[in-house]
């Protein structure tokens, strides 16, 4: 295996400022900013705009599309012509 081919893989804290949530993981990301973690060690910190703590899908605040309502509206507008009916040919 070739030496010095892979990037530096080290502990990094990712911080979601919107949710006030941070987690420690390993990454190749770097940052000039540092933070003292719960274990007393100092790690580089990377601020992210969104994480699983603030993403609407994971927090349950995601909007769901009412597909049945859309189908009903389409049928009201254009009729409910099933297969075999309609524009004949």
Domain assignment of residue 84, yes or no: no
Domain assignment of residue 38, yes or no: yes
The whole-number average pLDDT for the span 4-23 is 86
Residues 45-75 pLDDT 10s:
998 877 777 766 655 665 656 666 777 788 8
Q: Which residue has the higher pLDDT, 21 or 3?
A: 21
Extract the tokens encoding 16. Answer: 């979601």
The domain tally of the chain equals 1
Q: From CA 40, how far away is CA 12, in angstroms rounded?
A: 14
Q: Which residues contact 25 (CB under 8 A, 6 or more apart)?
A: 11, 12, 14
Domain assignment of residue 1, yes or no: no
Mean pLDDT of all residues belonging to the chain: 78
Residue 36 confidence (pLDDT):
93
Indicate whether 89 pLDDT > 50: no
Task: Domain of residue 49: give its range.
Answer: 10-78
Please give the helix or strand (H or E) that residue 76 lies within, else none: helix 67-78
Task: Classify residue 13 by burial, with Cβ atoms within 10 Å: 0-12, 13-18, 19+.
Answer: buried
Indicate whether 28 pLDDT > 70: yes
Please give the helix or strand (H or E) that residue 12 lies within, else none: strand 10-16
Domain assignment of residue 88, yes or no: no
């Amino acid at each position: 295996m070739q030496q010095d081919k892979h990037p530096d893989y080290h502990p990094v804290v990712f911080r979601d400022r919107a949710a006030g949530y941070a987690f420690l993981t390993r990454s190749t990301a770097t940052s000039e900013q540092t933070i003292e973690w719960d274990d007393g060690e100092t790690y580089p910190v990377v601020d992210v705009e969104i994480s699983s703590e603030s993403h609407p899908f994971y927090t349950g605040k995601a909007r769901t599309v009412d597909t049945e309502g859309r189908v009903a509206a389409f049928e009201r507008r254009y009729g409910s012509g099933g297969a075999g009916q309609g524009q004949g040919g």
